[in-house]
Amino acid sequence: MSRNRLVVIGGDAAGMSAAAKVRRLDEQREIIVFERSPHTSYSACGLPYYIGGLVEAADDLVERTPATFRDKYRIDARIRHEVMEIDPGGGRVRVRDLEAGKEFWEGYDDLLIATGAHPRCPEVPGAGARGIYGLNTLQSGINVHQALAREAPRRAVVVGGGYIGLEMAEAMIERGIAVSLVQRGPEVMSTLDPDMGALVSQALREVGVTLYLKEVLTAFAVAGGRATGVITDRRTLEADIVFLGMGVLPNSQLAEAAGLPLGEKGAIRVDTRQRTPRGRIWAAGDCGETVNRITGKPFYVALGTVANKQGTVAGINLAGGDATFPGVVGTAVSKICAVEVARTGLLERELRELEWDYATAVIESRTRAGYYPGAGKVTVKLLAQKGSGRLLGGQIVGREGAAKRIDVVATAVTAGMTVQEVIDLDLSYAPPFSPVWDPVQIAARQLVKKV
Ligand code: FAD
């Protein structure tokens, strides 16, 4: 039987990586992509820098337009088309043309779901009010940009101290807007251990963000349908504009309605080839689940790195090849103004839950030789298993040049290296880049004594 038509739902990182890969490997395939927003292949990661004014135009964040996909790849990418329903039995999707206001059914031989994720917002009173913004699509960023120009807000409140919340706080600082941040936990960035999160909280305070830690959002104050404040269990913060930074949830509703099994955090369950148990339906990116390579357990992470790789893997398989996505160790990097933040592997909280015996070391060092101009502070925390000495994770907070050191830690964690093996790595050194002992190795030297 010929399997000629591939339909992709979602025209960004995962969907378009897959579609482009299929086209490179298979000249004949008919490829249709339905994307409900007005853009394809954009960088959501760049939105905070567009909103903050560092990136001038929204178009700068678009990598490939539908016209490029049509002319260069012969991919029929239809923007402003929303898939409303999947009919797995009939092998078709119900699509709404959002411009024409019409609906139609489109058949598929293979279907890739790449619908991404949406910002989490608790169902508190006022949650639907205008003036509350979450970011996911390019259009969502354009909406914020326009609101800032139109309304010239003076006070912003960010609810949630995840990395998108942090980046939005930075964007507001860049624009000279007073910003407060409300966080449920004891420190911002719950993807770090609290001792490292405290360094990030401090960095936020130093750039002028007012923090309200250990406070829970209970409602939004609303007047005339518009949010005028954020109400926590302790106070009301007046706001001209509100941002959501409480993490994201997978857009898996279509899959769920079609009877596909969901896993971690409601993400679509897939195998390592990105295939769902429903043979001809595949999923990739923020809408799907993956595996934590350290624990071997199902895991949910919404990152562009992962989405691009999963899309490519799905594309190879959809073109008849054989590729697998092995999972993640949870590597991520961000920054708040001049302070860089990075993490990989497991947290103390997770290790306690797993009942693994572990040790930690936290050290302070410099990003460059101490005498070299621009040397800044860097704090490195490493975690390892007692007994085996296996490295299990690391977190880094520091000045320019600090964050990308996490890639050494991530590589070591992925390879299952011991702390001693990290010490033995032949890492580079010259005064503009590092002290003689790289900060990661200084931390490893402390840690080896404990494992
Ligand atoms: P998406 O990019 O969300 O694309 C899904 C697409 O599907 C959307 O365009 C959506 O409109 C469309 N869609 C959904 N439902 C339907 C439907 N029913 N019919 C038709 N179309 C539909 N990651 C990093 O690795 N590093 C970073 O620094 C980073 N920074 C970020 C900053 C921000 C502000 C945001 C929002 C995200 C950031 N990310 C970052 C995450 C990264 O952008 C995502 O992981 C990545 O875009 C996921 O790609 P995706 O294709 O799975 O989903």
pLDDT digit string, tens, across residues 213-242: 999 999 999 999 999 999 999 999 999 999
Q: For a substitution probing ligand 1, which of 42, 251, 331 has the most ligand atoms within 8 Å of its CB?
A: 251
CB-facing half-sphere around the CA of 110: CA atoms within 13 A: 25
Task: Determine the distance separating the centroid of ligand 1 and the alpha carbon of 311, expressed in angstroms.
Answer: 12
Q: What is the CA radius of gyration of the chain?
A: 23
- Cα(162)–Cα(397) distance, rounded to whole angstroms? 15
Joined tokens for residue 273 = 């080839």
Do the Cβ atoms of 273 and 289 come closer than 8 Å? no
The burial class, CB within 10 Å (0-12 / 13-18 / 19+), for 437 is middle
Name every residue whose Cβ is closer than 8 Å to that of residue 256 and which is 6 or more positions away in sequence: 262, 266
Q: First vs last Cα of the chain: how many Å apart? A: 58
Integer CA distances (angstroms), 180 to 35, 160, 186, 211, 237, in order? 34, 10, 16, 6, 8
Q: Is 390 in the pocket of ligand 1 (CB under 6 A)?
A: no
Residue 118 in contact with ligand 1 by CB distance below 6 A: no
pLDDT at 320: 96
Could you tell me if the CB of 37 is within 6 A of ligand 1?
A: yes
Note whether 280 and 108 are within 8 A (CB): yes
- pLDDT class of 1 with cuts at 50, 70, 90: very low
Q: What is the mean pLDDT of residues 136-152?
A: 98
CA of 285 to the centre of ligand 1 (A): 8
Q: How far, in Å, is the centroid of ligand 1 from the Cα of 116?
A: 5
Pocket lining: 340 vs ligand 1, CB cutoff 6 Å: no
Residue 424 phi, psi dihedral angles, 5° rounding: -80, -5
Give pTM, 2 decimals: 0.97
Average of per-residue pLDDT across 141-167: 97
The yes-or-no answer on residue 45 being catalytic is yes
Angle between helix 66-73 and 13-25 (nearest 10): 10
